[in-house]
Structure 1
């Protein structure tokens, strides 16, 4: 409905008074455009699709009712904390299906978040790697050298990789696909309130998700999957990979 209103307004003769669109609606509209271009298709890729098409595409991905409107369920889901990696569908892989060739996979920890002891962080990250090794032949080994297969780091704002964090709020972390030349990296936004419980953002759950990316998995449409882009708390003691996660990782490894 909003897109229709804007299109209608655009083509009205300049001498006519345009309808006044409330600022909160325009703010939601701008937020959606930025969100869609960051996580689905860039502005250039979206040139030949209407706003209604883009809304339906996003709604289809998140398995919402495909209204083509910027309705309340759509606004709610794009405002939730999430991973900074772009979205695709079901379990899926990065182009070329890259994966880490080494086994055991080595990992290093560059620094730690505020409010959590290094010992606690190390325990959580080790547990997160064990989630993936429990369903594959993969093993993980903590090392203290620079050239590890995966590097964990907690960083602020614009940290030099072209994917700046936004401070406490929307983007929690991101990771890069396996690469044959340079090591894998997993970055957590240091501004977040990281925790080992339901308070703040649970580090274990986000680490499992980002390790999935570092191993070669992209995002999933399945809301039960740990590779679903939206952060959803669940008790780490009861955590299990979904069938979607297991099929995806076992297809690669």
Structure 2
């Protein structure tokens, strides 16, 4: 099952001076009851932080729907039977999740059933679209078109988003891989 839309790489990236601040709003109306709202908020904070660790973009949650750069919600009825989530550009960016699915938190790999979806893994993927990234053919990438529960950004994910947001690229993929494996991310504006 697809988890996002395809976009032209970089076409939909944010066009603001760096470092950049973007606000996001999680709907209190379009929500689900299976996960408490504070836990949903924590999932999105972690998901946005994964990206802000590698690019000079800070994401700030706001209660102001109309003022938010990015709106997030869970919806039914669902107009796209193939997707579990997708990103809308209208011109605001909106991440929509299918409300009637079994959303889980902190469930990895083999623990996922065909009837459950890890909210954080899907959120990280959709945020990649919000930033302007295209689907990847790499199954280890969070931008892979089908959810496999991947939450950690791959070397490819980092290099692609840093290219869009003009962050200093690391000298080699092996250095980036070593830094990633040791929990170190650096984002520097060129």
TM-score normalised by the shorter chain: which range applies?
Answer: 0.7 to 0.9
Residue 172 (structure 1) aligns with: 84
Give the strand-richer structure, 1 or 2. Answer: 2
**C-alpha displacement at 1:100, in angstroms?**
4.8
**C-alpha displacement at 1:197, in angstroms?**
3.1
Unaligned regions of 5+ residues in structure 2, if any?
166-190
Tell me the number of residue pairs that the alignment of Structure 1 and Structure 2 aligns: 153
Pair 1:116 & 2:31 matched: no
Asked if 2 retains the 8 angstrom alpha-carbon contact of 1:157 and 1:165, the reply is no
Is the alpha carbon distance of 1:224 and 1:120 closer, same or farther for their aligned partners in structure 2, counting shifts above 3 Å?
same
User: 1:97-129: per-residue Cα shift (whole Å, max 9, x none)?
Assistant: 532527211000113223100011000000000
TM (normalized to structure 2)? 0.73
Asked if 2 retains the 8 angstrom alpha-carbon contact of 1:104 and 1:140, the reply is yes
SS at match of 1:141: strand
TM (normalized to structure 1)? 0.56
Distance (Å, rounded) in 1 between the aligned partners of 2:48 and 2:12: 20
Give the helix-richer structure, 1 or 2. Answer: 1
Residue 188 (structure 1) aligns with: 97
User: How is 1:17-32 mapped onto 2 (pairs within 5 angstroms)?
Assistant: none
Higher relative contact order (CA 8 A, sep 6+): 2
Unaligned regions of 5+ residues in structure 1, if any?
1-80, 159-163
**C-alpha displacement at 1:224, in angstroms?**
1.0
CA RMSD after TM alignment: 2.0
Asked if 2 retains the 8 angstrom alpha-carbon contact of 1:99 and 1:252, the reply is no
Distance (Å, rounded) in 1 between the aligned partners of 2:93 and 2:16: 12
Q: Which has the larger radius of gyration?
A: 1
Q: Which of 103, 124, 136 lines up with 1:220 in the alignment? A: 136
| Runs of 4+ off more than 6 Å | none
Residue 207 (structure 1) aligns with: 123
Asked if 2 retains the 8 angstrom alpha-carbon contact of 1:176 and 1:213, the reply is no
